[in-house]
Amino acid sequence: MGGGIRVIGKYELGRTIGEGSFAKVKLGRDVHNGNHVAIKILDRKHVLQNNMMEQLIREISTMKLINHPNVIKIFEVMASKTKIFIVLELVNGGELFDKIATDGRLKEDEARNYFHQLINAVDYCHSRGVYHRDLKPENLLLDSNSVLKVSDFGLSAYSQKEDELLRTACGTPNYVAPEVLNDRGYVGSTSDIWSCGVILFVLMAGYLPFDEPTHMALYRKIGRAQFSCPSWFPPQAKKLLKRILDPNPLTRIKVPELLEDEWFKKGYKQASFTEQEDLSADDVAVAFNEPNVENLVKERKEKPVHMNAFELISSSPSFNLDSLFEKQKDQVKRETRFTSQCPASEIMFKIEETAKPMGFNIYILQMKLQGDKSGRKGHLSVATEVFEVAPSLHMVELRKTGGDTLEFQQACENSLSWLLQSNFN
């Protein structure tokens, strides 16, 4: 709800741009140079409870030293008494998921180009002992030049430890290798390659190779690698996918063999970049271990109490005020927003009143709504925030925090957003 500008260290915190069970990602602005960043916020208690401290320190320290063009850059890591803040490169081009959902399947050359970039990123991180474990289109971002950036490398181990795979913020098992689902121990590099193969299939087909209404049926198909390629796949691509989506991790294709594959090699370019020598990971251990008081950052709030211009402008994906309250056409949205002149307390009351008949359970924290029926990817969850733009004008933001994106979009378009707006106007 409204309030002053939150400041952590040298960063102003803006709106929430991502949210899961274990972490929240907020837009940030470096007050020294005005650059925008993404700030992932972890709960220190959760990290400790998961006994993942050592692995997280090791993997995030490694990621901080990585300067690869296809991997989201970690700038710095800070800690307060209760939170850990990971400052990341901000990528504004949206998710690869949105491109598939909007355009359907990609042309062969375009799909192959993204696959090249994905393999470059995965291979580089594997060579440094870091494995993703949760590769899927939602974790693949695009910058303004359509350069692919893999997000959450080095953080996914934490996400998967809290609870069994299917109940994590990592979500859908459709991209997960059979040996991971069987929980018989697995090698991170080979399971990541399987996920890359599923992503390639989705890019070229526009749908999943393994998709069943029940988990048991889905597990059976994944375990046996039961899938069929559509007719428009060229024979060389079909042959490669059979080698990637091999249910036996021991015989599954490895990256060196992949780089020699005829279909893969067409138009392939190695990533071009230079290693930075002045990088340090000292702040990672300081943040994750029990820090000294002098190493803690303090969270403070600064006036004004209304939504500041930074937050207002940053609410638009393109930082363009003209499209602030416009819904993007033909794009799968994970959030929706509108304005109201009602008081904040009345807005929250009306949201609760509107959502309950639709089958949402209400949790007054921020405010959170959770569907009582499980959808395609679990229960649909929606977080709501109300910002005071001016004394008599509020902006209401509805943001998906769990479940299927298309189900969220349908809920907003068909009833939730429309009902709320009609209530307020």
Confidence of residue 201 (pLDDT cuts 50, 70, 90): very high
Catalytic residue list contains 372:
no
Amino acid at the residue 152: D
Write down the pLDDT at residue 33: 87
Tell which wins on pLDDT, 264 or 3: 264
- Mean pLDDT for 208-213 is 90
Domains of the chain, first to last: 5-91+281-302 (3.30.200.20), 96-265 (1.10.510.10), 312-424 (3.30.310.80)
| Catalytic pick among 123, 134, 192, 283 | 134
Ranking 28-37, 154-163, 358-367, 389-398 by mean pLDDT, the lowest is 154-163
Q: In this predicted structure, what is the pLDDT of residue 338?
A: 64
User: Cα torsion for 62, 67, 68, 71, to the nearest 10°?
Assistant: 60
Q: Is residue 368 predicted with pLDDT exceeding 60?
A: no
Distance CA 152, CA 74 (A): 10
What is the dihedral angle through the alpha carbons of 48, 52, 54, 60, rounded to the nearest 10 degrees?
A: -110
The stretch 318-341 carries a mean pLDDT of 52
- 224: Cβ contacts below 8 Å, ≥ 6 apart: 247
Say if residue 155's pLDDT is above 70: no
- What is the DSSP annotation of 232-289? TS-HHHHHHHHHHS-S-TTTSPPHHHHHT-HHHHTT---------SS---HHHHHHHS
Give the pairing type, strands 140-142 and 83-89: unpaired
End-to-end CA distance of the chain: 20
Residue 80 pLDDT: 84
Averaged pLDDT for residues 336-362: 66
pLDDT at site 146: 87
Length of the chain: 425
Cβ contact 302:5 at 8 Å? yes
* pLDDT, the chain, mean: 76
> Which has more pLDDT, 396 or 124?
124
- Is the pLDDT score of 181 beyond 90? no
pLDDT confidence bin for 415, thresholds 50/70/90: low
Predicted local confidence at residue 358, as pLDDT: 67
Q: What is the pLDDT of residue 160?
A: 44
| C-alpha span between 38 and 125 (Å, rounded) | 21
pLDDT at 330 (0 to 100):
46
- Judge whether 10 is annotated as a binding position: no
pLDDT band at 165 (very low <50, low <70, confident <90, very high): very low
Give the SS3 label for residue 397.
strand
Instruction: Judge whether residue 327 has pLDDT over 50.
Output: no
Instruction: Name the more confident of 366 and 240.
Output: 240
Distances (CA, A) of 199 to 245, 288, 294: 11, 33, 45
pLDDT tens digit string along 93-112?
888 888 888 888 999 999 99
Contact 396, 384 (CB under 8 A): yes
Report how far residue 70's alpha carbon sits from residue 117's, in angstroms, rounded to the nearest whole number: 6
Instruction: Decide which of 200 and 9 is more confident.
Output: 200
pTM of the prediction? 0.67
For residue 378, is it left (φ>0), alpha (ψ between -120 and 50) or beta?
left
CA–CA dist 255, 197 (Å, integer)? 12
